[in-house]
Amino acid sequence: MSEVPEVRIGTVEREQALQRLSDHFAAGRLSVAEFDERSAVVAAARTRGELAPIFADLPAEPVDLSKAPAKKRSGFLDEWPERIMAVVPILAVILFFTTGSWLWFLAIPLCGALLFGNHRNGDKN
């Protein structure tokens, strides 16, 4: 029994869950309303058991390295789009709770499109 559902989680686990949720949203598996609801649950989660139902109907995506080209890792600034994208869902949740407006969640796909849209099109050529 490696993961006990009653074990409390911290900020790192919530951030990882939000990132996984963002990945599923970006893949088109979740609507904006579903993403909003699940993000709010992740932000309020206190135990592992509260996170499990959020991903119950979503696939655990294995990484297929044969399809994706290997990234060059030469420094901190090479990963800046990924670093910004990791912070955007957390920032959207914080702004949602402070302002009460769900529109902040629209920044997640917008940032993804702005940060990765041109990069992916460049890979196809």
17 closest CA partner among 90, 84, 80, 94: 90
pTM of the predicted protein model: 0.47
Q: Which two tokens stand for residue 117?
A: 């849209």
115/79 Cα distance (integer angstroms): 11
43 closest CA partner among 13, 19, 20, 14: 14
Domains of the chain, residue spans: 11-61+77-124
pLDDT at 22 over 80: yes
pLDDT in tens, 73-111: 556 556 778 888 888 899 999 999 999 998 988 888 888
